[in-house]
């Protein structure tokens, strides 16, 4: 599904060139559940942005289903994101004046799903998230954990093949973290590919593959996970 070839990401800061990422080779297969772990500033979010088609590398290629993402036109790259990818972030980007139900419906509306089917699918997803009694609450009337669950329901409404998640449990209470991680497990069992950046050792343990980043390069993960993912 993903193949990264000879990728570097460099920045210029105060006259100096800094390398944020150095990836000679990386493969994430279809259906894998990968956790990207490592200390702050190691390049985790940069890698996720590259995989998401949002940050062009300085050198190299990011291949998604054998297509080089950054050789596509901006319009075709946006289409690839829309058709294949779902994003989960710590900032939920919910529309503040819409209810939980309407926020999830929005993704379905943009995909051209009829209104009655929008409500049916959105209600079902929110029910699976334990929010059946919060359908008509606006984001300001929901806890942080509940807002994350609404955002996740919106992300998966159009059944993306790949979920890219940046610290999805970072600000959550234990109950909400369990709901989110259980849902990720369910998506993975259904064949969804998940790539998750996390400092949460409990979340990382759910993954089937660990990518440990240090100073922009991948290092052996298993020995370092418990020390640096928490």
pLDDT tens profile 170-215: 888 888 889 889 999 999 999 999 999 998 888 999 999 999 999 8
For residue 67, what are the β-bridge partners? Answer: 64
Specify the pairing of strand 33-37 against strand 85-88: unpaired
- Give 26's DSSP letter: E
What is the spatial distance between Cα 146 and Cα 124, in angstroms, rounded to a whole number?
15
DSSP letter string, 37-98: E-STTSSHHHHHHHHTTSS--SEEEEEETTEEGGGS-HHHHHHHHHHHEEEE-SS----TTS
Query: What is the structure's pLDDT at 30?
Result: 94
Whether residue 74 has pLDDT greater than 60: yes
Minimal CA–CA distance to 164: which of 50, 38, 43?
Answer: 50
Whether residue 228 has pLDDT greater than 50: no
Q: Where are the domains of the chain?
A: 31-53+84-228
CATH assignment of 31-53+84-228? 3.40.50.300
Asked if 165 and 187 count as a contact pair (C-beta separation under 8 A), the reply is: no
Asked if 139 and 94 count as a contact pair (C-beta separation under 8 A), the reply is: yes
Asked if 149 and 130 count as a contact pair (C-beta separation under 8 A), the reply is: yes
Whether residue 138 has pLDDT greater than 50: yes
Read off the pLDDT band of 133 (50, 70, 90): very high
Asked if 88 and 165 count as a contact pair (C-beta separation under 8 A), the reply is: yes
Q: Which sign does the torsion angle of CA 174, 87, 155, 160 carry?
A: negative
Residues 100-119 have a mean pLDDT of 93
């Amino acid at each position: 599904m993903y193949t990264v070839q000879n990728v570097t990401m460099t920045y210029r800061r105060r006259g100096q060139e800094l390398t944020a990422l150095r990836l000679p080779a990386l493969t994430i297969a279809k259906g894998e559940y990968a956790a990207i772990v490592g200390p702050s500033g190691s390049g985790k979010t940069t890698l996720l942005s590259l995989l998401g088609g949002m940050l062009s590398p300085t050198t190299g290629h990011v291949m998604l289903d054998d297509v080089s993402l950054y050789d596509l036109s901006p319009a075709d790259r946006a289409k690839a994101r829309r058709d294949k990818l779902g994003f989960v972030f710590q900032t939920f980007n919910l529309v503040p004046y819409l209810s939980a139900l309407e926020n999830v419906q929005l993704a379905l509306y943009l995909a051209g799903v009829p209104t009655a089917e929008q409500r049916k699918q959105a209600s079902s997803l929110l029910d699976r998230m334990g929010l059946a009694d919060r359908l008509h609450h606006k984001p300001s009337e929901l806890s942080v954990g509940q807002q994350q669950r609404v955002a996740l329901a919106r992300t998966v409404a159009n059944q993306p093949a790949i979920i890219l998640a940046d610290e999805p449990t970072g600000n959550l209470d234990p109950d909400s973290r369990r709901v989110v991680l259980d849902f990720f497990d369910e998506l993975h069992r259904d064949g969804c590919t998940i790539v998750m950046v996390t400092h949460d050792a409990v979340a990382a343990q759910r993954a089937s593959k660990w990518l440990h980043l240090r100073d922009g390069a991948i290092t052996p993960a298993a020995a370092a996970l418990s020390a640096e993912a928490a």
